[in-house]
Amino acid sequence: MSVRLSLLAILDQGPCYGYQLRAEFDRRTGSTWPLNVGQIYNTLDRLERDGLVEKGAVDPQGHVYWRITDAGRSEVATWLRSPVERSAGTRDELAIKLAVAATLPGVDVGEVIQSQRRASLAQLQALNRAKYAGASPDGPEELAWSLVVDSMIFTAEAEVRWLDHTEQRLAQHPQHAMALELSTEKPKRGRPAKTEATA
């Protein structure tokens, strides 16, 4: 998620100081992506460096208000119109964990899947409880929060479906047939051994 562009989009609504910007981000995301104030100010410094925001007025309490520049407004408009690009590869820890576990001799991949399924279902139940315990999405803050929670629910549901699918696929293969021994083929590149200098 682009915290940088989200903060910039909020500044497009009007000048804010750091803590205020964090509170506005929390209001719009239901506090599901906690930001610390140091992260806010580091991001503001980078946005200023890039010419997307500038420092404005300072109030009697010493709060420095940041405001968006024309270049910043253009950046926000481009971001909002553009689809989120997903990477071609995966860095999903669960997918990598199961892929490796499925090829290790002596690992009960079924138990790895069951353990994850229990955790995923518990998370899904907690998200559903939170959603139904919340107020109906009548106001803008409630609606924003429910959109984020819905996304998290759909992600958890997809994970459970993927675990079921993975379990079915692995059941078609005997465990010993999936095990990969270390390859005897030597990679072409690597760190050469250090040799002692001879006198």
Tokens of 183: 């390859």
Write out pLDDT tens, residues 28-52: 887 777 888 899 999 999 999 999 9
Write out pLDDT tens, residues 80-104: 998 887 777 667 788 888 888 888 7
Q: 156 in helix, strand or coil?
A: helix
Write out pLDDT tens, residues 13-30: 999 999 999 988 888 887
Write out pLDDT tens, residues 52-84: 999 999 999 999 999 999 999 999 999 999 888
At residue 65, φ and ψ (nearest 5 deg) are -90, 130
Burial class (CB in 10 A: 0-12, 13-18, 19+), 94: middle
Say which DSSP state 16 is in: B
pLDDT confidence bin for 1, thresholds 50/70/90: very low
107, 88 contact by CB (below 8 A)? no
Who contacts 5 (Cβ-Cβ below 8 Å, separation ≥6)? 75, 76, 79
Confidence at residue 35, expressed as pLDDT on a 0 to 100 scale: 86
* Residue 139: count of CB within 10 angstroms of its CB: 10
For residue 106, is it left (φ>0), alpha (ψ between -120 and 50) or beta?
Answer: left
Instruction: Answer yes or no: is pLDDT of 121 > 60.
Output: yes
Confidence at residue 137, expressed as pLDDT on a 0 to 100 scale: 63
pTM of the model: 0.67
Instruction: Answer yes or no: is pLDDT of 3 > 80.
Output: yes
* Residue 133: count of CB within 10 angstroms of its CB: 7
Who contacts 20 (Cβ-Cβ below 8 Å, separation ≥6)? 63
Write out pLDDT tens, residues 135-166: 566 788 888 888 888 999 999 999 999 999 99
Confidence at residue 67, expressed as pLDDT on a 0 to 100 scale: 96
145, 30 contact by CB (below 8 A)? yes
